[in-house]
Chain A
Amino acid sequence: MRILLDHFSKSFGSVRVIDDMTLEIKDGEMLALLGPSGCGKSTTLFAICGIHKVTSGRILFGDRDVTNVSSQERNVGVVFQSYALYPHMTVRENIAFPLRIRSLPEAEIKRLVNEMAGLVHIGSLLDRRPAELSGGQQQRVALARALVRRPNVLLLDEPLANLDAKLRLEMRSEIRRIQLETGITAILVTHDQVEAMSMCDRIAIMNNGQIIQIATPQEMYRNPRTAFVAGFLGNPPIAFIDAVARDGMLAVENADIRLPIPREADRVPEGTPVVVGIRPENLGTEGDAAIRGRVSFIETQGRENLYDITLANGKVLRSIQRVRDDVSLHDEVEWRVRSDQLFLFAQNGERL
């Protein structure tokens, strides 16, 4: 089902947490709400499921305005970070709870619970209590409970944050599989860009209560709208250096570096101070511009190495390359970067 937030605002007391947000989630799509903590992504999620009231604006499920519909009647499935399983009930009772509330016939409940348990692979755990399950298993139960009544939308609030690294990898693909199999519209709230990029069809990146950019993961990575977006996506993260437009080139102060202005950037007036973003994978052996610096740190990652290059002005750039035997710590190097892979931002962070 299509979900639409229409000029949605939310205040707590006099503090405006979400300001005039408009966001559409397409039917069957999985969308990530990505942002640092405190950016308002959880508030948005709570507003969609009805736990928070909307200060102004509308929320539509399909064509229906559910702004003033109580949470119980919205038929929304939620998976919380802590899973929020009912500790005094068995797994079976947990999953059956939403159905019991709806007074379904027992036989029907039994059938749906078993079907759902099969889907999330917990068929053998039905008679255990939540405390007897591992984190991953609890997560599956929470998913089953959220999905069993065929909700209009599935909301996932930092669902992987409480899992260890290995389980997190496993559950990432599991949640995506289940979402695709059921074809449900889903919203994933997360602060982890890897989760957002690996699980979702589109990402809405948020900061300070506003959506900065909505795009597919690839598009967002390749074409960030602001320095904030560019900085949030990518690991190891992008590096920024200050520069000034001079003679149709970008001059990095005190570093004897001159970079060509990327073709897709607007005309940059002479003397404008700008911020240049360079992703680590783009700094290496190929390109039309040279960057000189000293290798100040080498982090071994196995297949690749991460090199820190300190420029003459003290700024640090990062480069990720296959392991090179010809470079060692404290070497002076001159590496290259392609001008069409530079990101150019104004001082206020807007992409130029």
Chain B
Amino acid sequence: MLTKRVIPCLDVRKGRVTKGVKFQNNIDLGDPVEMALAYSEGGADELVFYDITASAERRPIDIGMVEAVARAIRIPFAVGGGISKLADMERVILAGAEKVSVNSLAVKNPSIIAEGAEAFGRQCIVLGMDPVKSERCPSGYEITTRGFREFTGMDAVEWAKRAADLGAGEIVVNSVDADGTRAGFEKVVTRMIAEAVDVPVVASGGAGRPEHFPEVFEATGCDAAIVAGMIHSGEYTIAQIKAAMSSAGVPTRLCD
């Protein structure tokens, strides 16, 4: 049976993994390659790297880091941040990443999704989105960009459908409201999107305890969920998350 994926997220800044709440108060957590290796050995199903300072500083992704990760680990990983054109996607994929993730770029230039899907296959193209609760949009959720700094007026569910039609192979729903709270995933918009599109949906933001994982899988029908702070801090392990999922009856790849 196809299992629900647990995906550690590593925010990289100047070659180091960092964690901050709502992009502030960043703390150094370690070396990206060492952490990637530890998580892949520890049962992660996939990894995602965000080169979080790339967009703000208008510089491309650190390809050397992508290559080093690809050499070190044997599970799929996605890279996001700092992608501004098709050639950037190609460099990341040729360096050994399975997927590239676009977020603000796709809002500005939606055709990049179609171009990427055409060039590399839709399974390579991940759309990341940062919805926030908002009365301005029919679904009740509005898309923000540039690390939650800008409001776009775009409806989150409509944007997800459009992105999937354009060729996005997967959609990461990173809730601005839940991000960094460790109070559990946002379930309303994640479920609306999981029901609206025919591509895998990944819940992101708010994981704080192992039980949050079976909860979000059962409540939303999403295919994967992102974990960050609760394992980066050493408070919990992926094995504990997987055990919680498995005992709740969620299809889970237990570490072998």
A and B associate? no
